[in-house]
C-alpha cells in the first residue's frame, strides 16, 4: 500500500449536537491555520465567497473515494465521515447542498503546486511542513487515532477493552506513534515486537508471530478490508505523542483559507466533528478501547 500518511507521529440520523458535551478533539494547540478574528467577519460573506464558480463551492476528492470516509464511492451523498464534514464546512460558509459541486482530483494532483480546480479538497491529507510549501491547509478536522487490528483466528479476536490485551503479544512499526501507543496506553506484559515497516508487521500477524498490531486508523481500515484475510479492527486508542492531523487542502495563498479554517474551528468547538467521528468511524467498526 502506498501510504498517504506520515509514519511518525451521519447515517441518516439527525445530529444531536445539543447533547454533545466535553467531547471535542484538542483545540487551540492543534490549529495549523489562524482563524479570522471577529473583526474580519466581513472577509467571509455567507454564500458569497470568491469561489471557483460564483454562488457555489467546489469540493475535490479522489476517485474512487473509499469507505468509511465516503460511502459507496459517492462523495455527493453526504454519507461517510469526510463527505459529512465537507457538507458541514460548506454550510458554515453559507452554501446549501444544492450549491455544493464535487470534482474528481487525484491525491497527488491536489497537493501539487499550481492553480486548483476546487475551492478545497478533502481526502485524508496529513498536514506536513513539506506539503505546506505547495498548498494551504485548513485547521485540522481530524486527529488520527492509533488502532489495534488482528485476525479472526487470533486469541484476542474478541477483545473489547485494554484489559483484554494485557497478555497479548503486539507489534508495530519502529519509531512510530503506533509503537508508543502500545507501550504508553496498552502496556502489555509481553515486550512489543518492532518491525521495519507496516508490511512486515502485517506479515507477522498473518503468520501468528504476534497476536495483533497497532497502526493508524486509515491504515487499519485499508489493511482489514483489502490486505488481511479475516482482518478485524478491535478498536481505537487514546491520543499519544504528537497526533497526525488531517486538513482540507486549498490553493497556496488562497483567500478562502482563513474562512475555511474558521468553519472547521466552529465544527470542532460546537462538537459537530466529535459527533461525525462517532457516527461514521466508530460505527464503522472502530470503537474506542478503554
Domains 25-143+245-282 and 146-236 share a fold: yes
Cα(first)–Cα(last) distance of the chain, in Å? 29
For residue range 32-68, list pLDDT tens digits in order: 444 444 444 578 999 999 999 999 999 999 999 988 9
Q: How confident is the model at residue 240 (pLDDT cuts 50, 70, 90)?
A: confident
**Between residues 4 and 268, the one the model is more confident about:** 268
Rounded Cα distance between 48 and 272, Å, is: 23
Residue 62: its pLDDT value, please? Answer: 96
Q: Average of pLDDT values for 22-27?
A: 34
Rounded mean pLDDT of the chain? 88
pLDDT at 164 over 90: yes
Q: Where are the domains of the chain?
A: 25-143+245-282, 146-236
DSSP state of 7: S
pLDDT at 192 over 80: yes
Residue 41: its pLDDT value, please? Answer: 52
**Domain spanning 146-236 has what CATH number?**
3.40.190.10
Domain 25-143+245-282 CATH class label: alpha beta
Contact 35, 27 (CB under 8 A): no
Closest CA to 239 of 277, 189, 207: 277
pLDDT at 147 over 50: yes
pLDDT at 270 over 80: yes
Rounded Cα distance between 96 and 279, Å, is: 22
**Between residues 31 and 249, the one the model is more confident about:** 249
Residue 135 β-bridge partners: 251
pTM of the model: 0.79
Q: What percent of the chain has pLDDT over 90?
A: 80
For residue range 61-98, list pLDDT tens digits in order: 999 998 899 999 999 999 999 999 999 999 999 999 99
Q: How far is CA 111 from CA 37, 95, 258, in A?
A: 27, 24, 18
Residue 27: its pLDDT value, please? Answer: 37
Amino acid at each position: 500500500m502506498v501510504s498517504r500518511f506520515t509514519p511518525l507521529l451521519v447515517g441518516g440520523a439527525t445530529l444531536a449536537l445539543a447533547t454533545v458535551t466535553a467531547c471535542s478533539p484538542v483545540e487551540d494547540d492543534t490549529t495549523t491555520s489562524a482563524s479570522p478574528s471577529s473583526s474580519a467577519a466581513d472577509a467571509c460573506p455567507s454564500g458569497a465567497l470568491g469561489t471557483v464558480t460564483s454562488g457555489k463551492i467546489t469540493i475535490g476528492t479522489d476517485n474512487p473515494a473509499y469507505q468509511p470516509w465516503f460511502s459507496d464511492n459517492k462523495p455527493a451523498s453526504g454519507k461517510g465521515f469526510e463527505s459529512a464534514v465537507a457538507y458541514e464546512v460548506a454550510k458554515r460558509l453559507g452554501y446549501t447542498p444544492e450549491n455544493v459541486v464535487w470534482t474528481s482530483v487525484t491525491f497527488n494532483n491536489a497537493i501539487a503546486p499550481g492553480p486548483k480546480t476546487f475551492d478545497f479538497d478533502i481526502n485524508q491529507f496529513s498536514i506536513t511542513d513539506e506539503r505546506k510549501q505547495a498548498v494551504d491547509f485548513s485547521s485540522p478536522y481530524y486527529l488520527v487515532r492509533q488502532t489495534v487490528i488482528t485476525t479472526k483466528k487470533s486469541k484476542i479476536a474478541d477483545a473489547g477493552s485494554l484489559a483484554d490485551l494485557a497478555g497479548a503479544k503486539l507489534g508495530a512499526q519502529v519509531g512510530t506513534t503506533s509503537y508508543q501507543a502500545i507501550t504508553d496506553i496498552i502496556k502489555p506484559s509481553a515486550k512489543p515486537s518492532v518491525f521495519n515497516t507496516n508490511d512486515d508487521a502485517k506479515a507477522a500477524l498473518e503468520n501468528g508471530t504476534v497476536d495483533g498490531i497497532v497502526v493508524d486508523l486509515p491504515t487499519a481500515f485499508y489493511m482489514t478490508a483489502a490486505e488481511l484475510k479475516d482482518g478485524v479492527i478491535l478498536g481505537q486508542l487514546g491520543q499519544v505523542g504528537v497526533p497526525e492531523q488531517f486538513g482540507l487542502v486549498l490553493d497556496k495563498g488562497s483567500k478562502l483559507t482563513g474562512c475555511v479554517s474558521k468553519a472547521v474551528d466552529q465544527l470542532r468547538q460546537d462538537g459537530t466533528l466529535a459527533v461525525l467521528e462517532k457516527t461514521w468511524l466508530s460505527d464503522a467498526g472502530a470503537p474506542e478501547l478503554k
